[in-house]
Amino acid sequence: MKDFPLKALSFHPREECGVVGIWNVPEAAKLAYLGLYTLQHRGQESAGIVTAREGELWGHRGMGLVADVFDAETLNHLPGTRAIGHVRYSTTGDPDPENCQPLQIQYRRGGLALAHNGNIVNASSIRRELELSGAIFHTTVDSEVILHLLARDVGSFEDTLFSALSAVRGAYSMVILTPESLVAVRDPNGFRPLLLGRLKEGWVVASETCAFDLIGAVYEREVEPGEVIIFDREGLRSRRLAPASRQSLCIFELIYFSRPDSTIFEESVHEARLRLGAALARACPAEADVVISVPDSSNTAALGYAREAGLPFEQGLIRSHYIGRTFIEPDANIRDFGVRLKYNPVRAVLEGRRIVLVDDSIVRGSTSRKIVRMIRAAGAREIHMRISCPPWRYPCNYGIDTPEAEKLIAHRNDVETIRKEIDADSLGYLTVEQMLAAIPNHQFCTACFTGDYPVRFETREKKTVLGTGRRTTVARKAGGFLCL
């Protein structure tokens, strides 16, 4: 017997993080916990919450799912009406307790905590400069450079904040908590979503609106690209960073990452996916009997395809929702064990039929091949695979965990070669133009399809893990250094 790790079941590119901020609402930690619970799909490696009360910050973070990291007792030890929270996957920085967010420090102005979704593309060079001037880093995550920049003496906290933000480039939707204020920031390109909601007398900020629904907050508007919203005793005020030459909203948030019950970029994710599916049906029709999806993220696009094509949409694959962190795999080899653990075919839907199989991406191709084989073995007569975006050819540098270009099947192969590799009877993608026409009126980043990167970046390098020790993650007041 051997362990089969959860990571081996991550078949799609993965969102790095989700963030939430609560201002001026009783039981802020519990609301942040519920918000993180709804954002769990954005990161399942670690979770954390920091709260503020009476001039001090209180934090708890750890490895695992939100429901594993927190219980009633830990939440009761996070007092106050202000909180920030974070769920994480790692792209920069390793899956390690030291890298759990929110990052938290104690410095000359008091406590400071930060939760970040995105990727600072010039973090390595800033870090090198800071280290040469004596700074000591405690984590391997890019976000820590922002904390170091915020700890410098450049005038008021607000002046220092703007100075720090003018030094960093890339994707950052971020919440920052001090004992006196909460700050919500979105980078000028607007890569990752960040939304503002109202709750009673207070405010909520979150990566997606689904976090508002559970806690009864009312969606107000987006934190706009380049906007810095500061909540403090004077209320809420909005300031602006220097604008980007163009916005670069991550179109993959609408295709795959965000939940269909969310509104982001002023678009219903559900409706955007329906339109992508309909566009796919027009662009890549198929002689078929039924449309099925690779659940769950492709369900809505498949529904859009089926409606446009006048075909029935049925559940041909069932996805397991009860996958833990590891599995015991029997010594006797089970073919495609990982995929079988996650998906199982419904013979009654597939047997003897011509299938349109809709998915939202093909990354390496190996998973698609296994799914196609599984559906064929369940009796499907023909399998026509349809992808609700263009071929994924280039890695992302703005907060999505993707393999290097050489490992992306579409980087080195044309569509016909990919079709043969995945063993489908036909394969169709949307073109970039068809995709953009389905979600008009925005300026999107499309770098993973086109290689046209909107913000210059440093070489993608796996960072070295600092230190080998593990620290406990019990709730405690911030000490004189990073409290992780």
Close Cβ partners of 46 (under 8 Å, ≥ 6 residues apart): 61, 62, 63, 64, 69, 86, 87, 88, 95, 97, 99, 100, 101
| By CB under 6 A, residue 264 contacts ligand SF4 | no
| By CB under 6 A, residue 256 contacts ligand SF4 | no
From 35-43, 205-213, 393-401, 473-481, span contacting ligand SF4 (CB under 6 A):
393-401
Q: Which residue pairs, CB below 8 angstroms and at least 24 apart, start in 107-112? A: 107/151, 108/151, 108/153, 109/157, 109/178, 110/55, 110/56, 110/57, 110/178, 110/179, 111/52, 111/56, 111/57, 111/177, 111/178, 111/179, 111/478, 112/57, 112/147, 112/150, 112/151, 112/176, 112/177, 112/178
Q: Which is nearer to ligand SF4, 223 or 448 (CB)?
A: 448
Q: Is 483 a catalytic residue?
A: no
CA distances from 120 to 23, 28, 98, 169 (A): 26, 28, 18, 6
| By CB under 6 A, residue 252 contacts ligand SF4 | yes
Number of residues that bind ligand SF4 (CB under 6 A): 11
**Of residues 400, 424, 435, 475, which one binds ligand SF4 by CB under 6 A?**
400
| By CB under 6 A, residue 49 contacts ligand SF4 | no
| By CB under 6 A, residue 150 contacts ligand SF4 | no
CA distance 177 to 410: 42
Q: Which is nearer to ligand SF4, 194 or 396 (CB)?
A: 396
195 strand-pairing partners: 206, 222
DSSP 164: H
| By CB under 6 A, residue 445 contacts ligand SF4 | yes
From 320-328, 377-385, 411-419, 440-448, span contacting ligand SF4 (CB under 6 A):
440-448
**Of residues 264, 380, 396, 430, which one binds ligand SF4 by CB under 6 A?**
396
From 31-39, 56-64, 139-147, 247-255, span contacting ligand SF4 (CB under 6 A):
247-255
CA distance 200 to 215: 11
Q: Which is nearer to ligand SF4, 157 or 257 (CB)?
A: 257
Q: Which is nearer to ligand SF4, 102 or 118 (CB)?
A: 118
**Of residues 33, 70, 265, 398, which one binds ligand SF4 by CB under 6 A?**
398
> What three-state secondary structure class fits 214?
helix
CA distance 133 to 260: 46
**Of residues 78, 121, 251, 385, which one binds ligand SF4 by CB under 6 A?**
251
Tell the smallest beta-carbon distance from residue 251 to ligand SF4 (Å). 5
Tell the smallest beta-carbon distance from residue 270 to ligand SF4 (Å). 19
| By CB under 6 A, residue 429 contacts ligand SF4 | no
Q: How would DSSP label each residue in 344-376?
A: EE-HHHHTT-EEEEEES--SSSHHHHHHHHHHH
Q: Which is nearer to ligand SF4, 51 or 402 (CB)?
A: 402
Q: What is the CA radius of gyration of the chain?
A: 23
Tokens read off for 204: 């909520």
Tokens read off for 118: 């995105």
Tell the smallest beta-carbon distance from residue 368 to ligand SF4 (Å). 18
Tell the smallest beta-carbon distance from residue 250 to ligand SF4 (Å). 3
Tell the smallest beta-carbon distance from residue 183 to ligand SF4 (Å). 23
Tell the smallest beta-carbon distance from residue 14 to ligand SF4 (Å). 10
CA distances from 40 to 14, 35, 265, 318 (A): 12, 9, 20, 20
| By CB under 6 A, residue 250 contacts ligand SF4 | yes
**Of residues 447, 455, 478, 484, which one binds ligand SF4 by CB under 6 A?**
447
**Of residues 427, 448, 455, 475, which one binds ligand SF4 by CB under 6 A?**
448
Q: Report yes or no: 68 and 76 within 8 Å, Cβ to Cβ.
A: no
CA distance 15 to 38: 14
Q: Annotated active-site positions, please?
A: 17
Which residues form the interface with ligand SF4 (CB under 6 A)? Answer: 191, 250-252, 396, 398, 400, 445-448
